[in-house]
Amino acid sequence: MARCTDSAMSAVDPDLEAPEERRFLSTAEAAALERELLEDYRFGRQQLVELCGHASAVAVTKVFPLAALSRKQRTVLVVCGPEQNGAVGLVCARHLRVFEYEPTIFYPTRSMDPLHRDLTTQCEKMDIPFLSYLPVEVQLINDAYRLVVDAVLGPGAEPGKVGGPCTRALATLKLLSIPLVSLDIPSGWDAETGSDAEDGLRPDVLVSLAAPKRCAGRFSGRHHFVAGRFVPDDVRRKFALRLPGYTGTDCVVAL
């Protein structure tokens, strides 16, 4: 490919000797891929967050199809953090609402970013309830919701720095017995090493956004989807992403 120059290829981690075997991105590669989409391809954040949030909702429908749920089982708790992962969670909640699920949002630390604010308004105006606090008694959550979407922390986040209600929310999510769907990485895991994979969240479903991050290698849940159909072929080749093909107009693919 003409655009796949030497300098472009340097985005790929030189430590990896067999990139053709590789499926998962290091944190630096994931950041470089996102930069490529934003700066070179001129994707907008609003556009990417919309595509990722929509695909995340579609992934939820694949594992928990509406037809298999009773009216009371359509309830989904979406826990959103203050960064980009949380923005994707807000979009996911909106599309779940459109798909006739019953999402509820817990978004304790609100971002001042206009994108987050607008996405919040969309959810509020669509009558999606926002919890003002998360019950400490996990059985209340287990009883009230069919599943929880974890959109708290993305790959760049430093769990120690988030603090406050998000940290407490993660401690609560760890104790739940209902299924957990994590967006991009299980919140609190190190995106690179997956450390905290033993003690941290143990999601049943992982939805990798754009491409799987390295920590996904330690994911042991039932379903792993990639939501990266929008990633151009040239970018996939440049980052040596070897992923199964998408079917029809599907925006997610199961690994």
Binding site for a second copy (CB under 8 A): 3, 40-44, 46-47, 50-51, 57-58, 61, 66, 98-99, 115, 117-118, 121-122, 125-127, 229-230, 232-234, 248-249
* 231/197 Cα distance (integer angstroms): 27
Helix (H) or strand (E) holding 224: strand 223-227
* 15/4 Cα distance (integer angstroms): 19
Where do the DSSP E strands lie in 54-199? 75-80, 102-106, 130-131, 147-151, 180-183
> Nearer to a second copy by C-beta: 66 or 136?
66
Site of tokens 């630096």: 28
What is the closest distance, in whole angstroms, from the C-beta atom of residue 126 to a second copy in the complex?
Answer: 5
What is the closest distance, in whole angstroms, from the C-beta atom of residue 227 to a second copy in the complex?
Answer: 13
> Nearer to a second copy by C-beta: 163 or 244?
244
> Nearer to a second copy by C-beta: 57 or 148?
57
> Nearer to a second copy by C-beta: 96 or 169?
96
What is the closest distance, in whole angstroms, from the C-beta atom of residue 115 to a second copy in the complex?
Answer: 8
Q: Is 196 exposed, middle or buried (0-12, 13-18, 19+ CB in 10 A)?
A: middle
Helix (H) or strand (E) holding 227: strand 223-227
Q: What are phi and psi of 78, to 5 degrees?
A: -110, 115
What is the closest distance, in whole angstroms, from the C-beta atom of residue 62 to a second copy in the complex?
Answer: 9
* Among the listed residues 31, 83, 92, the one whose alpha carbon sits nearest the alpha carbon of residue 57: 92
> Nearer to a second copy by C-beta: 44 or 163?
44
What is the closest distance, in whole angstroms, from the C-beta atom of residue 154 to a second copy in the complex?
Answer: 20
What is the closest distance, in whole angstroms, from the C-beta atom of residue 91 to a second copy in the complex?
Answer: 9
C-alpha distances in angstroms, 156 versus 85, 148, 182, 193? 10, 22, 15, 13
Question: What angle do helix axes 45-63 and 114-125 make, rounded to 10 degrees?
Answer: 40
> Nearer to a second copy by C-beta: 57 or 173?
57
